[in-house]
Structures are given as structure tokens and as C-alpha cells.
Structure 1
Amino acid sequence: MSAVRAALAAAARDHRALGDAEAVALLGADGAELEELAGLADAVRRARVGEDLTFVVNRNLDGTRVGDPAARGLLHDLVQEAAALGATEVCVQGPVPASAGPEGYLELVEAVARAAPGIHLHAFRPPELLEAAHRRGSSLRAFLVAAAGAGLGSVPGTAAKVLDDDVRTALNGGVPDLPVARWVETVVTAHEVGLTSTSTLVHGGPETPAQQVAHLRLLAGVAARTGGFTEFIAMPSPAGPGPSPRATRALHAVARLLLDGYVDHVQAAWPKHGPDLTEQLLRGGADDLGGLLLDGSLDPAAGQEAGTTLSREGAAALADRLGRPLRQRTTRYGEPAVP
């Protein structure tokens, strides 16, 4: 019996008891074995979260562009426009410029909250959280408490790349990156003050399948400790050719198996995968589409992914092909207070 076939049999018996070597073997599944793996992952998805295909309506804004005090009026208008268009979430990507001063990050949070009370602000990766605390001369926890009190709702669990210090150094051009231990400490502290976060893996670069499995195990360990991850998102590495569709499907399926009971939702990040692969991922363990990414008309280029949009009609058509109901969600997977 091949290693993949033996691992599939083990997953069918009890996916929660899979060993690391079995998980590594499953990452190499192809052909009929890949289809069997996808079917197992989809059954686990169905048992864990049901049949709904979920999405959030959000707007991405570039922190460098809207974080300067001179752009506060523009930020106010962009957030109001997003809320008027039905967005329940505003995501700020990237650092706030130094010109914003020591309280620039906190003031951005306050500005978003003033513009649209009740909208969910999803902002600031771990390196930016650490920078924000450093600028104001406070501890990380003190900044997070202040930001949560001012209206920050969640933080992106990005900048994770691969949670292995050697791989992170390689991906950073040979220069040490934010250490894994510091990344984990930052995310755990955010969870402890009541903020949720996403969890991510950038795959298809220099990492090995064993390092991918170790990354997933580490995320499961954080989730077991804090319960703070809302979803898992795998993204293709920009380093080299990136992952194949086969490898992408296998990783999403294995993530569903290894994270079951720790992270409920697995996202098929449609802007990263394209329509065909996204549909395959949603048949192989993933349950969420992520954001529809509104651009608006006031300043469509204000977000880092401007021009990348998915309409409700497109999402509904995908749900129809899957034979699953489409449901709009909030950032924390609740029901939005919008039509």
C-alpha cells in the first residue's frame, strides 16, 4: 500500500488522529487519490460548518494612502461610501506613514469609527502592531487594548508566510524576518484582548511539505490556546513559480483535516486562485469566499487590490454550480444587519 493510500485510510478512520508523516503524504496526493482526499475534506467541512457558501462585503484601503492626517477627510468619505454600498467591513492594509505621528495608528482607528459607527475594522498585521506600539512608546498589549477600545475589531493574521525561521529568512532575501516566536506572541496578545484574526499560509515557495504541516500544527496550537482565529487562508507564494493547482487543492484539503476543531472556516481566496480553482477548492474542504472587495466610485484606486471585485451575482452563480446556499456573513461569521 502506498503512503498516500495508507494516509487516506487513516484519515477516513479518524482525521483528528493523523500523524505528521501521514499529513505530509496527503500533501502529495494526485489523480484519484487527490479526488478522494478532497471528498474526505469536504465531508469534514459539511459536518463542521454545514452547506452555506459564505462571503463578507468589504472594502480594502491602503494604510499608506489613507493613514496620513492630510487624508483623514478622504478616509472618512471612503468609509462612509463603503458602508452605503453595503460593506460591513473595512480592511486597512499596510503601514500607516510616519507623518501620522506617534498615535497615527490609533487615530486611524478612531477616524474609521467616526465615519461609520458599527462597521468592522480589520487592520494591522503583526509587524504593524509592533510598530504602532513602538511609535507611541507603549507595550503591545497597551496599544491593542487602546485600539480595541477605539473600534478595531480584528487583525489580519498575515505576515505569517511560513512559520519557520529559516524559511522566513530565505523568503526575506537572506535577512532575518519577524521571528516566528514574536509573530505568535503578537497574535496571541491580540486574541487575549478580545480581537480575532485570520490565519494564513503562503505556500509554494522554498518550504517543504513537512514545514507546511508544522505550520498548520502551530496554528492549531494557537487556536487551541486562544480560540481567536476566524478562518484559515492559503495563498500562493510570489517566490518562484508558486504552487500547482494540484498542490493547492491538496493543501486546502489537508488544512481542513488538521485544523478541524480548531479553526472552523477554510477560505478559498478567489482573487489568488481564479474561478476554476476556487470552485475546486470549495468542493474540497473550503467553505468561504472571503470578501467581495468593493471599489466604489469616489476613489477606486484607494485599495491595494483595486479592480479585483466579485459581484453578488457572480458569487450566486458559483453557489448554484456547487448546489449550496449563498450567505452573507460578518467578519466573525455572524449575520449582518444589512439586507
Structure 2
Amino acid sequence: MPVPDVSVRAALTGAARDHHALTDTEAVVLLAADGEDLEELAALADAVRRDRLGDALTFVVNRNLDGTLVGADPGHVRDLVREAAALGATEVCVQGAVPAAAGAEGYLRLVEVVASTAPGIHLHAFRVPEVLDAAGRRGSSVREFLLAARDAGLGSVPGTAAKVLDDDVRTVLNDGVADLPVARWLEVVTTAHEVGLTSTSTLVHGGPETPAQQVAHLRLLADTAARTQGFTEFIAMPSPAGPSPRAVRALHAVARLLLDGRIDHVQAAWPKHGLDLTEQLLRGGADDLGGLLLDGSLDPSAGQEQGTTLTRADAAALAERLGRPLRQRTTRYGDPVRR
């Protein structure tokens, strides 16, 4: 790829003038910002965040469950959801395929169990591969399954499994075997939005993709959001290769600029970055801390991120260091109903 004929300083000047007018070339250049340029980029992104959302640092109280581990045992799911609700969770997240032993309607039954156990809780469940699996098992279209799941109590779907929205990169990440095509991923997520479900949006970065492919991914998310208004937030997650803190900060800042007005919230995923880098991200365009990820005591291993829990005191201390008010939110960024 040719070196873009624009400097970081010129790109920063253009972004400060009108970040909505950033070209792809300028966005790629900004992803390489370092030193004083990076600090200026972060400050600009944080100003855009403040103008869009104000200063509140938000978080959600949630419990993650692994569908593969718990999906065939409705009684156990009921106990875990009851415990999560008692601990103050407003969201239960389920990722991972429901075991085949649960039958053709296993996914729907899981939704029904959660919804009937805690009617006020938001169920955030089933990535695109799981939606496709659920529809295939019951012999229905994706739209038919999502409508049935929505009616049974599903509130939103995770936007994970997006990886990088580039078919060539996805093939590389899948050990040379063609992965779920980008068009199919977008079709499923768009259908979820069309039937009234929201979703997160994600990017796994720092692997074989180029900066230009990162920008193209962000543009594709922004364009989809403009059509569906269905994305609640953007979450950047580091690949196993481990992007540098500099690259992580630059990506979050550029994401804030490119997604502004399309996807309001940029989450600093603290379990992926650690609290020190998370604090820097929250000073550089991110506004949301994500979930506390309650373990509970009944069966901590039922979640994929066992032992990765943030306390309210930890969140409050972080907000104090940032000089920003802390606000608990719901999955869709509303205010929780106090029980």
C-alpha cells in the first residue's frame, strides 16, 4: 500500500476543523499518531465525546453465561439468573452455542427461562453464528427465529464474531479456511435491528489487518448504523497478537471521530485492557466502562470470564480519578428501574 500523501499534523488539523469530513486516508494516518500527536488526537476525541454525551462515565451490572455450559439445564439457568437479579444485575449475557441435547428449540427455551425468571432483566444473547445455528436447528429463516426470540424475551444480540469485516482477513484469521462472509454477518445483524433488537458492534484489532482495513471496518459499521439505528455501542478488542497501548489508544480515538453521530457510545473494555489503559481510553474518546461481570457464588465457572469482576467501588474510584460522575445504565443506556 502506498504511503498516504498527508501528514499526521495535517490530518489532525482537518479533524479539528470538521471530524465528520475526515477522509479514509486521513483516518489511516491518525491511526499512526504517537507522542504529542497522539495526545492531541486523544484530546480531540474526548472533546467530541463530551459534546455528544456529556461527562458521565457509564457502566452496566451484568452476568455472563456460557450457553455451551448451561444451555441444556433450564433449572440451573433459572438459579443463576435469580442470583444475578438478586445481586443487582440488569442484564444477562449468553454467548456460546446451546448444546444439541437441548433440541431444536433449545435457544428459544433458554430465552423463555431467563425472561420468566426475571421479567425485568435484559437478555443480551446469541452472536451471529449462534443465531444461524438456532435458525438452522428449527428449520426456520433467521428473521423467523429472531422474531420468535424477541417475542419470548430476547432484547439484544452481541455484535461479537465480527472480527474484522473483510473477507480476506477473516480467511487468514480462520487458518486459511473461508469464514462466515462479511455480507452474511451484516445480513443477520441488520435483520436483528429490523425486528427491533439492538446489538453491540465490535472490532478485533492488532492482527493481520491493515490500518486501511480497520478504517473500512469502522466505515461499514457507521453506514450500517445510519440505515438501522440498531448499534448501541462500539467495542474494540485486542487480538491475541497484542496491539501496543499506543495503537489501542489511537484506534479508540479514531473510532470516536468516525462513528460520531452514528454510534454514540465507545466502550473501553476493561477486561481486555486492564484498568490503567482503560483510564487512558476514557480520557481519549471512550465514555463507557462496560459491565461489572458478576460471578456470583452459585457457579462462577458458568461464565466465560470467571474471576474477571469489577466492583462498584473500583468503578467509583476510576470515575473520581477522571473527575467524572459515575452512572449505572441499562443495556440500551437508559436509567435502571430501582427495585
2:199 to 188, 197, 202: 197
Q: Tell me what 1:312 maps to.
A: 312
User: Is the counterpart of residue 253 in structure 1 residue 253 in structure 2?
Assistant: yes
Task: Say whether the 8 Å CA contact 1:199–1:233 is kept in structure 2.
Answer: yes
Aligned partner letter, 1:120: H
Look up the match of 1:169: 171
RMSD value, Cα = 0.9
Instruction: Judge conservation of contact 1:195–1:228 (CA < 8 Å) in 2.
Output: yes
Which residue of 1 is the match for residue 31 of structure 2? 27
What are the ranges of 5 or more consecutive residues in structure 2 without an aligned counterpart? none
Alignment length (residue pairs): 335
- SS of residue in 1 equivalent to 2:94: strand
Asked if structure 1 preserves the Cα contact closer than 8 Å seen for 2:6 and 2:29, the reply is: no
1:5 equivalent among 1, 9, 16: 9
Residue type of the partner of 1:127?
A: P
**Distance between the aligned counterparts of 1:251 and 1:5, measured in 2?**
17
Q: Is the 8 A contact 1:86 1:338 kept in 2?
A: no
Tell me the CA shift for residue 93 of structure 1.
1.2
Match of 2:322 in 1: 322
Give distance in 1, aligned partners of 2:230 and 2:205. Answer: 22
Measured against aligned partners, the alpha-carbon deviations of 1:94-142 in whole angstroms (never above 9, x if no partner) come to: 1101111110100100010111112100000001101100100001000
How does 1:1-339 map onto structure 2 within 5 Å?
3-68=7-72, 71-238=73-240, 241-338=241-338
Deviation at 1:3, TM superposition (A): 1.1
TM-score by length of 1: 0.98
| Corresponding letter in the other structure for 1:67 | G
Report the Cα distance in structure 2 between the residues aligned to 1:177 and 1:158, rounded to whole angstroms. 14
Deviations, residues 215-239 of structure 1 (Å, cap 9, x unaligned):
000000100000000000000002x
CA shift, 1:338, in A, is 2.5
2:6 and 2:170 map into 1 onto residues whose CA distance is 32
Distance in 1, Cα, partners of 2:52 & 2:121: 28
Runs of 4+ aligned structure 1 residues displaced above 2 Å come to none
* Secondary structure at 1:334 match in 2: coil
- In 2, Cα distance between equivalents of 1:269 and 1:94: 19
- AA of the residue aligned to 1:262: R
SS at match of 1:92: strand
Taking only the aligned residue pairs, the percentage that are identical comes to 81
3-state SS of paired residue (1:90): strand
Measured after TM superposition, the shift of residue 65 of structure 1 is 1.1
Whole-angstrom distance in 1 between the partners of 2:308 and 2:117: 24
Task: Measure the CA separation in 2 of the matches of 1:135 and 1:74.
Answer: 23
Tell me, in whole angstroms, the C-alpha distance in 2 between the residues paired with 1:287 and 1:105: 33
In the TM superposition, residue 172 of structure 1 has moved relative to its aligned partner by 0.5
5+ residue gaps, structure 1: none
Shift of 1:242: 1.8
CA displacement at 1:2 relative to structure 2: 6.1
Per-residue Cα deviation, 1:185-204 (whole angstroms, up to 9, x for no partner): 00000000000000000000
